[in-house]
Structure 1
Amino acid sequence: MRTQAMKFLFTCYSFMPRNGQLGDDPAMVGGDELWEVPDRGAYLDMAQGFQTKVGPLGDRFESMYQGIRDCNIFLENIGKVPDMQEEEKLRWISEVKFLKAYYHFILVRMYGPIPVIKTNLPISADVNQVKVVRDPVDSCFHYIAQLLNEAAPGLPLNIISPATEAGRITRPIALSLRAKVLVTAASPLFNGNTDQGNLKNHDGTQLFNTTFSKAKWDTAAVACKRAIAICEEAGMKLYVYNPAFQQYKLTDTINTQLSIRNAVAEKWNSEIIWANTQSNTAGLQRLISNWWDPKYLDGVITRGELSPPLKIAEMFYTDHGVPINEDKTWNYSGRYTLRTAEDADKLYVRKGYTTVKLHFDREPRFYADLGFDGAVYYGQGRFDDSKSLDLFYLEGKFKQRNGKGKYGYNTVTGYNLKKLINFQNTITSNNDYSVVDYPYPIMRLADLYLLYAEALNESAGPSAEVNKYIDLVRKRAGLGTVASSWTSFSTNPVKYLNQDGLRDIIQQERLIELAFESQRLWDLRRWKKSSDILNDQIRGWDMSQTTPESYYRITVLYNQTFGIKDYFWPISEDNMTANTNLVQNLGW
């Protein structure tokens, strides 16, 4: 009956990983953009190169196949339900096809070629039927894209009843995921990857096509454009904070920062394509929020954990919208020397505070996303009596309120997160921290725009169309266009006019715009850049010091190792023993 079918529908949803949760999302602390107190979790071990095939850290091989099996059971039986309209059945079938595709995609992204399970084996299947083999990776991607294409027509353009259906799949979600799947398939990790040439099934079937195919980028660009069109038809647009709904007086600088922060932390805003309602962002925000106010310091349980390293702080652009090592007006070699904030800096660094030059003259996303010693903060219910701007600042040196040397936890690098924290979280007079929960975004429009720009550049090279979608994201971030920024301020003013240069620009734009949103780990992998970037030291400031001269000394905190084998998870030894037809990923 319908009621039982609905329960089974939601069972199919229940296998979705909890994006944004440290114990269930390898992209939070499994790469290099966020670090925490040592010995706090498996993914932090993975980031340091301690992965193992005996009990793989973050293994999903069994749970995703359980989800796929339940999806197949649903699809096999939904036609028998008598008390449903055909239109509703079609919608539910489409949702489950989407989930089946998504679970296959999660597996492919982690393990590479996998066994594709189109239908469940019968209970009567003999042992040889059960021992499935891995399918070539191109076949995996083709099947995933096909399922998403089949699902899209039966899904609604928008959620029909937001009060009861938020988080359920829509047509924009299906086509946007399909775009991401096809961009992933076209990327260097899966497109012409000669490092995987020796990965073959026992019968000799090659699991990776080692010949590059430009046609994959062509297909991906078309899919991205189609997804953008359906998102815009559904009324989606890049989020911009509207001060008309704010009772307090804000500057343009703060408005821009709130546009950046709220694009993630305001639930179901105009930019959210898909968000995970099963994630616990309330717990996440408590974990990463600082000790805001000395008056309530002892009673408020916030920890200031999850620390971006120095290299992430250096990743953001200058205020001219170009990399710090390219801006001809910015003193890159002197970035670690000290400077005292003046009146013009007061919305970014506390006036009169001494910090490093690295923290001055940076782009709005730097100040919207990161906290640091002396950084100005906005929000958390702090306003003066005239309801005008009442900023406060972080103090990160030894035994200061946001520094090391007291009970509880603290940043380990000298940097904190502002991004992911809703600016309306408040400390109340009864020593409570009131948190505004929001579903964790899996995909938002800025992500899709940058995927399209990337695919189009790889397909046809630089063009006005490519720049258009990068510039839309940059405009919301308070930056000039790619053309104007590079022409006027870069030491390489023609960089954006050739495909290789524009590729670098698009990739850095993605890493900045989507920082701390569970995207960097997967992007670095699909670009095959992890073996370069994740073999670097993790550095921060000397947290045990009390003066600027000693605090701002670079300290090595962690060492990372990443080899060719680490691009894909190992299949656990238990699964290899149970199914001798499986072949292990190379290097494991």
Structure 2
Amino acid sequence: MKRLKLFLLVGLIVGSSSCQKYLDIVPDNIATIDYAFRMRSTAEKYLFTCYSFLPRSGNMYADPGLFGGDELWLSTDKSWWANWQVALGTQNINNPLLDYWNGYNNSTALWQAISQCNIFLENLDKVPDIDFMEREQWRSEVKFLKAYYHFYLLRMYGPIPIVDKNLPISASGEAVRVFRKPVQEVFDYVVSTMDGAAQDLPLEVRDENAELGRITRPIALTMKAKVLMYAASPLFNNNTEYSSFKNKDGQALFDLDGQNQTKWESAVKACEDAIALCREAGYDLFEFELTQQTRNISEETRIQLNNRGTLTERWNKEIIWANTLSNTRELQVWSAPRVLERSNMGNSEPNGSIGVTMKIAELFYTKNGVPIDEDITYPYTDRFSIRTAESQDRFKIKEGYTTAVLNFDRESRFYGSLGFDGGIWYGNGRYDDTNPHYLQIKSEQIGGKEGVGWHSVTGYYAKKYINISNTSQNTSTYTSINWPWVMLRLSDLYLLYAEALNEVSGPNDKSFEYIDLVRSKAGLKGVKAAWTDFSKNPNKFNSKEGLRSIIQRERMIEMALEGERFWDLRRWKLAPEILNSPIYGWDVDQSSSASYYRRKLLFSQKFGLKDYFWPIRESDIVVNKNLVQNPGW
């Protein structure tokens, strides 16, 4: 009989004890497939095993979207972080970083995950003591997971094999040497599989205590919409840069039939279906609700918390899918500045070692809702000079504190997402916004650089990750609210819809409606009003190209620090333009304002054609002669 072997990462096994019930997995001593499917209880454990392979989104070391791009930056003593090495340009074919093909170097073995899903689907009908509806729901959940794992590999590696069924033990050596499939064929497979799964998925989980994170119909339709957005985007839609990328038998791996407009139309329809279903299920944009503790805060602070709370308020009404395999305590510990409450530096207490790049600080709009280099009222050329905060700045910057002009007169998401020298940090022990924490992080100040690594090397902190209820009880105890990493949320879907609509028909009322819904949550005027009143280019939104640029920036701001920018820059084919540029921060070694607020070069980042897709490990190419390596590797 077939042996059941589960090679689960130690991190997943250890982490599962604190997650939802459904993360229990099949015990290692289960001997056979037949035993695993002999009754409902053991089959359910196999179902949970299929979930256990979900990539560890939000993990500091395993998520390429966090440190693989240009949003977050570290001090040089963190060079052992595999995903940051991607950003530093040390990816290679001998021992690939974050090798999701095989499961090496802080990754998950996704081909093994797909194999486990196939085993489950092949054997589910053997289970005797399960009712029909539950059986079909389980089948649909695993179908979706299998499709999602294929999509994750497709997004990372480009054209991949399709493994819809496991090969029998008796298969010949040649049969197991699979070919890569054209990208459109893989997209079609992923979409059709998600479609098939959606039919028998529930609108919502029945038992929130035990099932949050399980796949529902809104998750399936929203992820399908995102998959179709990738299929329609320039990286995959008639990308002539890959015209010579072919299998060894000559099969082209990228379609080159001209920009296929029907792909955008399919994405529009999928977004509309997902939005309608999400509304039926009660999803809505997150609005921070006042509590007894926060009842007296200003409207300015509340709007900032709309941004911060969207991630950190567990299972709020905007979250469509969150990964309960993820544990964000460590991310919060390493992102929180020490200055909030003086604490010992270490791996388990706030150490402030994760910095946000100046490129991201400059990305956010002005208070008028347009880019800082477009706003006719903003002193863009003087942004690196210094200015002293006044009373009207008090909910954003400590009154009387001197900081960079760059930190003044910005939109609420800037202040909700970033901490900086002199910046207000609401919550975390202080809930009166007339007497909040504020950061003092120049050298020799309470939160300034100590040692090589216990500080933000850029001078900006990822406030967006920190739940406002986290507290330091004393110098050695940090209490944090662990929130599951958000995989899909409504603002994400709205901006995808606006993007697809613009690609189909250019500027249109629906695109503006859905962008403006997201902007309204941030306290901003709509696109038309903001650009007409404050932009140097007041007609920008009237062309498809101009509105495309606006939507892309809106998306990069709204989804900042959530791992989406890494993938979006690739699918838009903007990575060479944006990632071939320096990484800057403030000069955090300095103690005076005049010296600290000098832009300091940290790294000169490079991006070439080969960096769009991960390399396949060289040894895999040697074993399977039918596999071709990605271009450039």
TM over 0.5, shorter chain: yes
Match of 1:47 among 87, 92, 95: 87
Residue 372 of structure 1 and its aligned partner are, at CA, apart by 0.7
Match of 1:7 in 2: 45
SS of alignment partner, residue 236 of structure 1: coil
Looking at structure 1, the residues matched to 376 and 300 of structure 2 have their Cα atoms a distance apart, in angstroms, of 24
| Aligned match for 2:222, one of 176, 182, 192 | 176
Deviation at residue 418 of structure 1 after TM alignment: 0.5
2:426/2:433 contact within 8 Å kept: no
Q: Which residue of 1 aligns with 2:280?
A: 233
- Aligned CA RMSD, in angstroms, stands at 1.4
Percent of aligned pairs with the same residue? Answer: 50
The residue that corresponds to 1:357 in the other structure is 405
Q: Which runs of 5+ in 2 are unaligned?
A: 1-38, 103-108
Which shifted more, 237-246 or 96-105? 237-246
Aligned residue among 422, 433, 438 for 2:467: 422
Q: How many residues align?
A: 585
Q: TM-score, normalised by structure 2?
A: 0.91
CA distance, structure 2, for counterparts of residue 569 and residue 177 of structure 1: 22
Match of 1:18 among 49, 56, 61: 56
Structure 1 match to 2:306: 259
Deviation at 1:390, TM superposition (A): 2.5
Tell me the secondary structure at the aligned position of residue 443 of structure 1.
strand
1:556-575 C-alpha deviation (Å, 9 max, x unpaired)? 01121110111000111011
> Unaligned stretches of 5+ in structure 1?
none
Match for residue 96 of structure 2 among 56, 62, 74: 56
Query: Which of 155, 162, 171 is equivalent to 1:116?
Result: 162
For 2:233, the equivalent position in structure 1 comes to 187
Conserved in 2, the CA contact under 8 Å of 1:405 and 1:544?
no
- Could you tell me which amino acid in structure 2 is paired with residue 318 of structure 1? T
Select which of 200, 213, 219 maps to 1:154.
200
Q: Which residue of 1 is the match for residue 509 of structure 2? A: 464
Sort the Cα spacing of 1:328 and 1:340 in 2 relative to 1 into closer, same or farther, 3 A.
same
| TM superposition shift of 1:171 | 0.3
Distance in 1, Cα, partners of 2:339 & 2:450: 17
- In structure 2, the residue corresponding to 1:442 is in which secondary structure? strand
Q: Secondary structure at the match of 1:333?
A: helix
Report the Cα offset of residue 293 of structure 1. Answer: 3.9
Answering whether residue 325 of structure 2 is matched by residue 278 of structure 1, we say yes
Q: Structure 1: how far apart are the matches of 2:474 and 2:440?
A: 22
Residue 387 of structure 2 aligns to a residue in which SS?
A: strand
The Cα of 1:294 is off from its aligned counterpart by 5.3
Alpha carbons of structure 1 residues 354 and 212: separation in structure 2 relative to 1, 3 Å: same
Could you tell me which residue of structure 1 aligns to residue 29 of structure 2? none
Question: Any idea what SS the aligned residue of 2:381 has?
Answer: coil
The partner residue of 1:68 within 95, 110, 114 is 114
Amino acid at match of 1:145: V
Give the structure 2 partner of residue 508 of structure 1.
553
- Change in CA separation of 1:295 and 1:529 when aligned onto 2, cut-off 3 Å: closer
CA distance in 1, matches of 2:537, 2:526: 15
What is the distance in 2 between the residues matched to 1:266 and 1:293? 20
SS at match of 1:483: helix
CA shift in 2, pair 1:388/1:26, >3 Å: closer
**Which residue matches 1:311?**
359
The one-letter amino acid paired with 1:143 is Y
1:531 to 576, 596, 601: 576
CA distance in 1, matches of 2:230, 2:480: 35
In structure 2, do the counterparts of structure 1 residues 185 and 328 end up closer, same or farther at CA, with 3 Å as the change threshold?
same
- Distance (whole Å) between structure 2 residues aligned to residue 297 and residue 391 of structure 1: 21
**Does structure 2 conserve the Cα–Cα contact (< 8 Å) formed by 1:115 and 1:135?**
yes
The answer to whether 1:198 aligns with 2:236 is no
Cross-structure match for 1:167 = 213
The one-letter code matched in structure 1 to 2:465 is L
Counterpart-to-counterpart distance in 2, 1:30 and 1:483? 34
Alpha-carbon distance in structure 1 between the residues aligned to 2:536 and 2:51: 50
1:477 paired to 2:522: yes
Q: Distance in 2 between matches of 1:16 and 1:577?
A: 28
1:138 aligns with 2:176: no
What is the distance in 1 between the residues matched to 2:342 and 2:567? Answer: 41
Shift of residue 429 of structure 1?
4.2
Q: Does 1:212 align with 2:252?
A: no
Compared with structure 1, are the counterparts of its residues 295 and 181 closer, same or farther at alpha carbon in structure 2 (3 Å cutoff)?
closer
Structure 1 CA distance, aligned partners of 2:607 and 2:368? 33
Contact 2:419 2:460 in 1 (8 A): yes
Deviation of 1:248 (Å): 4.1
Q: Larger deviation: 176-185 or 427-436?
A: 427-436
Q: CA deviation at 1:402?
A: 2.2
1:145-183 CA distance string (max 9 Å, x none): 001100111111011100000110000000000000000
Secondary structure of the corresponding residue to residue 531 of structure 2: helix
Q: Does 1:452 align with 2:497?
A: yes
Match of 2:151 in 1: 105
Distance 2:443 2:153 in 1: 44
Q: Answer yes or no: is the 8 Å Cα contact 2:356–2:462 preserved in 1.
A: yes
Q: CA deviation at 1:44?
A: 1.3
The residue type equivalent to 1:19 in the other structure is S
Equivalent residue of 1:556, what SS?
strand
Partner Cα separation in structure 1 for residue 389 and residue 612 of structure 2: 43
Residue 289 of structure 1 corresponds to which residue in structure 2?
336
Looking at structure 2, the residues matched to 202 and 174 of structure 1 have their Cα atoms a distance apart, in angstroms, of: 35
Which one-letter code corresponds to 1:478 in the other structure? G
Deviation at 1:292, TM superposition (A): 3.4
Q: Aligned partners of 2:459, 2:570: CA distance in 1, in Å?
A: 27
8 Å contact from structure 1 (residues 381, 425) kept in 2: yes
* C-alpha deviation, 1:431, in angstroms: 4.1
Q: More deviation in 236-245 or 353-362?
A: 236-245
Shift of 1:81: 0.8
CA 1:330–1:571 in 2, change beyond 3 Å: closer, same or farther?
Answer: same
| Contact 1:249-1:389 within 8 A present in 2 as well | no
Q: Is the 8 A contact 1:307 1:412 kept in 2?
A: yes
Secondary structure of 1:93's partner?
helix
**Residue in structure 2 matching 1:413, options 449, 458, 471:** 458
Cα deviation, residue 430, structure 1? 6.8
CA distance in 2, matches of 1:341, 1:390: 15
- Name the stretch that deviates more: 241-250 or 35-44: 241-250
* CA distance, structure 2, for counterparts of residue 506 and residue 403 of structure 1: 37
Cα offset, 1:449, TM superposition: 0.3
The aligned amino acid for 1:193 is N
Secondary structure of 1:453 counterpart: helix
- Is 2:301–2:433's contact at 8 Å kept on the other side of the alignment? no
Find out whether 1:325 has 2:373 as its counterpart: yes
The CA distance in 2 between the partners of 1:401 and 1:18, in whole Å, is 34
Q: Encode CA deviations 1:270-289: one digit per residue, 9 max, x unaligned.
A: 00000000111011111111
TM-superposition CA deviations, 1:273-332 (whole Å, max 9, x none): 000001110111111111134555679821112211111100000000000011011111
- The answer to whether structure 1 residue 497 and structure 2 residue 526 are counterparts is no
Identify if the C-alpha distance between structure 1 residues 294 and 449 changes in structure 2 by more than 3 Å, giving closer, same or farther.
closer
Residue 522 of structure 1 is matched in structure 2 by 567
- Structure 2 CA distance for aligned equivalents of residues 338 and 137 of structure 1: 50
d(CA) in 1 for partners of 2:417 and 2:294? 23
Give yes or no for contact 2:498–2:514 (8 Å, CA) kept in 1. Answer: yes
**Which position in structure 1 is the counterpart of 2:9?**
none
Give deviations 1:30-73, integer Å, cap 9, x for gaps. 00000112214111111121110111111111211100011011
Kindly report which structure 2 residues correspond to 1:21-36, keeping only aligned pairs within 5 A, or say none.
21-36=59-74
CA contact (8 A) 1:372 1:416 kept: yes
CA distance in 1, matches of 2:141, 2:529: 44
2:47 match: secondary structure: helix
